Amino acid sequence: MPLERLNKVLAHQGHASRRDAEKLITAGRVKVNGVTVTALATKVDPAVDRVEVEAEALAQHSAALVWVMLNKPSGVVCTKADGEGPNVMGHLPEEAEWQALRPVGRLDKESRGLIFLSNDGVLSYAILDPDTHLEKEYEVEVAERLGESHLDKFRAGMIVDGKRTRPAPCHMVGENRFRVSLSEGRNRQIRRMTDKMGVTVKDLFRVRIGPVLLGDLPEGRWRRLTEEEVNGLRQAVKEKHPSASSGQGED
């Protein structure tokens, strides 16, 4: 297959954005066929050359971009690192082309629901860009009985770590269940907000990322995103943050 710039290969395999990949290269943290490279103009054949980032080998596969969704069970971590317990990669086929995918963002170990995995680093980073504000919707069950006064704090935002959270649309779906849509990616935000209100989360289930719904996908199962769903993500990124890359051009 034709040679590609090294930073593009790193981005397409989900390791970093192209800009961050350039930093990895110039810092001497990338090897090609066992040799450290620092030249940004380096080109490789991803189907033949062995590329390593800090001793982690990237799988050799075609440049085809793959997007899948997984209904993550509780107790599973969103990382490829060993030693942290069961991880999302254990729910994908063992073939190298599937294990080359990377989680797009995180979902707490104890939380459940929708997470994407992909080798499309450009669109992945556009989705995760803090300036994109792509909505993620969750269904939350708490131990206590809820009232509208609780939800009003989500709607108005509250101070967490010295900074006010963005307004979060939400509505009741039961005496102790509600749905909330977040447009920012703070660590464990829902749990930290409910803790401040004296409310204990029993279950947190992500049902939507941008325009893509989890639907009736069984827990622990995965499926490919349709072309329409991927295009919907690209369009949502453009609408939310027009300057963010949508994977159609240079990052």
The confidence score (pLDDT) of residue 18 equals 75
The confidence score (pLDDT) of residue 61 equals 45
From 82, 108, 120, 203, the catalytic residue: 108
The confidence score (pLDDT) of residue 248 equals 34
The 8-class DSSP code of residue 95 comes to: S
Q: Are residues 142 and 204 in the same domain?
A: yes
Residue 157 within any structural domain of the chain: yes
> What is the helix (H) or strand (E) element at residue 23, kind and residue range?
helix 18-26
Q: How far is CA 106 from the centre of its chain?
A: 5
Q: Are residues 124 and 169 in the same domain?
A: no
CATH number, domain with residue 50 = 3.10.290.10
Q: Could you give phi then psi for residue 40, rounded to 5 degrees?
A: -65, -20
Residue 248 within any structural domain of the chain: no
Tens of pLDDT, residue by residue, the chain (251 residues): 567 888 888 876 656 677 778 888 998 888 888 889 999 999 987 767 778 887 665 554 445 789 999 999 999 999 776 667 799 999 999 887 788 888 999 899 999 999 999 988 778 888 888 888 899 999 999 999 988 999 999 999 999 988 999 999 999 999 999 999 999 988 899 999 999 999 999 999 999 999 999 999 999 999 999 999 999 999 998 876 554 443 333 33
Q: Are residues 144 and 199 in the same domain?
A: yes
Please tell me the distance from the alpha carbon of residue 100 to that of residue 119, in angstroms, as a whole number.
Answer: 7
The confidence score (pLDDT) of residue 16 equals 64
Q: Are residues 85 and 202 in the same domain?
A: no
**Nearest residue to 133 via CA among 57, 184, 200:** 184
Q: Are residues 50 and 11 in the same domain?
A: yes
Residue 226 within any structural domain of the chain: yes
Q: Are residues 8 and 113 in the same domain?
A: no
- Number of domains the chain is built from: 3
C-alpha dist (Å) from residue 229 to 68, 166, 198, 213: 10, 26, 38, 9
CATH number, domain with residue 178 = 3.30.70.1560
Close Cβ partners of 67 (under 8 Å, ≥ 6 residues apart): 116, 117, 118, 120, 224, 225, 229, 230, 233
The confidence score (pLDDT) of residue 251 equals 32
CA angle 50, 55, 61 (to 5 degrees): 30
46, HSE (Cβ side, Cα atoms, 13 Å)? 19
The confidence score (pLDDT) of residue 19 equals 79
* Tokens standing for residue 107: 């979902």
Q: Are residues 157 and 178 in the same domain?
A: yes
Instruction: Note if 108 is an active site residue.
Output: yes
Residue 189 within any structural domain of the chain: yes
Q: Are residues 140 and 38 in the same domain?
A: no
CATH number, domain with residue 109 = 3.30.70.580
Q: Are residues 109 and 204 in the same domain?
A: no
Task: Supply the range of the domain harboring residue 96.
Answer: 67-130+217-240
Residue 247 within any structural domain of the chain: no
Q: Are residues 119 and 221 in the same domain?
A: yes
Residue 223 within any structural domain of the chain: yes
Residue 75 within any structural domain of the chain: yes
Residue 199 within any structural domain of the chain: yes
Q: Are residues 24 and 43 in the same domain?
A: yes
Q: Are residues 140 and 193 in the same domain?
A: yes
> What is the helix (H) or strand (E) element at residue 115, kind and residue range?
strand 112-118
